[in-house]
């Protein structure tokens, strides 16, 4: 992503609306009293533009980041606009303000690991991931001693991303694993296939499965998430929201309102089914993630790939709640990266 594109993403997600009023700046709960008093003293009456002007004009490391980190959950995203704008500016400089970059990600890491959870909504979270990705790219070739803070910055950026979504071994991941274990117990044998109804009806477990489906693709260049009729739709819709990418639906033949292309496959029961995809939904070069609930033979995923690639898209990944081992040998899925949350027996 270019610097200008990153600036536009920041501008659309942070610093919007009026600045918080004095009584909205902090929550007086008995914690961090001195930092909160300093925060009110500095941020009171200021817009994010005022804070950016302060950052541009400082002669020493007076970043006000500790004061920013204790602001209320409403004020944090507003004033983060200033710090992100300054970050983008300094990254573009031959000698960026590495100390600022280091301390910004240190404080961001503390903020998102708060016991009350991250104060950032899903769109803001995705933008912060893009910012972290850009910083990681800039710092990739920078080594000490020429860049004194480089190693520390890389460590803080990695720690921030880990806290944002959880990584194996931390408390958040333990909670996620507990939910996935619980989710596996909600997947029950049905009429010729596993029944996911109880999973869909249980919000904590359903959300955990969706996050597990989307997690490997947070850093991938996904252009479209394609869901397959019909049980794949709820999972695909939620994954597209997680990744903030467009959703495309492959429907049963005859269901698409506009011009469509069609293909067919023989499903796991031996029944022949015909599906269709709106021509306007995929553009040449679109990198596509297929999402379905259960892949038993791979025939339906291969059919979806043919539809997408017939319109010029490229199917690079497929994610399902479960993928049976036989699917991995399907000739029509050669070169597609397959991701599953559970194994064929419903156990992760």
Low-confidence ranges of the chain (pLDDT < 50): 167-172, 346-348
- Per the listing, tokens 């983060």 go with 80
Contact 184, 342 (CB under 8 A): yes
CA 303 to chain centre: 27
| Start-end of CATH 3.40.50.2020 domains in the chain | 203-342
pLDDT attached to residue 115? 63
- Residue 149, number of CB atoms within 10 A of its CB: 19
Using alpha carbons, list the distances in angstroms from residue 79 to 34, 50, 76, 82, 201.
19, 10, 6, 6, 38
pLDDT attached to residue 59? 65
Which candidate, 70, 104, 102, places its Cα nearest to that of 85?
Answer: 104
Pairing of strands 224-228, 194-195: unpaired
pLDDT attached to residue 27? 83
Q: Measure the CA–CA gap between 342 and 23, rounded to whole angstroms.
A: 48
Contact 155, 101 (CB under 8 A): no
Write the pLDDT tens digit of every residue in 4-24: 888 889 999 999 889 999 988
Angle at 183 between CA 182 and CA 184, to 5 degrees: 90
Token duo for residue 190: 């049905």
pLDDT attached to residue 45? 92
SS3 207: helix
Q: Which helix (H) or strand (E) holds 13?
A: helix 3-13
pLDDT attached to residue 111? 87
pLDDT attached to residue 63? 85
Contact 86, 58 (CB under 8 A): no
pLDDT attached to residue 321? 95
pLDDT attached to residue 333? 95
| Partner residues linked to 194 by β-bridges | 189
203-342 is classed CATH 3.40.50.2020: yes
Q: Measure the CA–CA gap between 258 and 279, rounded to whole angstroms.
A: 8
Token duo for residue 256: 């698409």
Token duo for residue 37: 């008093």
């Amino acid at each position: 992503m270019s610097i200008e594109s990153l600036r536009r993403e920041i501008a659309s997600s942070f610093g919007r609306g009026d600045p918080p009023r004095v009584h909205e700046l902090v929550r007086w709960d008995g914690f961090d009293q001195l930092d909160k008093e300093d925060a009110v003293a500095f941020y009171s009456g200021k817009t994010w533009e005022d804070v950016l002007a302060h950052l541009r004009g400082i002669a020493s490391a007076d970043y006000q980041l500790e004061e920013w980190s204790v602001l209320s959950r409403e004020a944090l995203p507003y004033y983060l606009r200033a710090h992100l704008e300054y970050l983008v500016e300094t990254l573009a400089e031959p000698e960026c303000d590495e100390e600022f970059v280091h301390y910004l990600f240190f404080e961001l890491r503390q903020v998102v690991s708060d016991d009350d959870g991250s104060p950032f909504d899903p769109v803001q979270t995705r933008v912060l991931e893009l910012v972290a990705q850009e910083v990681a790219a800039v710092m990739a070739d920078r080594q000490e001693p020429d860049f004194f803070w480089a190693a520390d910055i890389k460590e803080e950026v990695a720690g921030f991303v880990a806290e944002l979504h959880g990584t194996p071994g931390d408390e958040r991941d333990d909670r996620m694993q507990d939910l996935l274990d619980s989710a596996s117990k909600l997947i029950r044998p049905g009429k010729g296939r596993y029944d996911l109804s109880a999973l869909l009806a249980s919000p904590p477990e359903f959300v955990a499965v969706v996050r597990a489906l989307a997690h490997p693709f947070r850093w991938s260049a996904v252009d479209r998430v394609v869901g397959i009729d019909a049980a794949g739709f709820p999972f695909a819709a939620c994954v597209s929201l997680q990744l903030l990418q467009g959703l495309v639906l492959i429907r049963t033949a005859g269901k698409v309102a506009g011009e469509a292309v069609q293909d067919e496959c023989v499903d796991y029961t031996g029944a022949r089914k015909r599906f269709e995809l709106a021509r306007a939904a995929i553009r040449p070069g679109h990198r596509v993630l297929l999402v379905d609930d259960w892949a038993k033979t791979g025939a339906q995923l291969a059919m979806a790939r043919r539809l997408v690639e017939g319109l010029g898209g490229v199917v690079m990944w497929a994610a399902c709640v479960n993928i049976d081992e036989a699917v991995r040998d399907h000739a029509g899925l050669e070169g597609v990266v397959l991701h599953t949350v559970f194994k064929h027996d419903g156990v992760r």
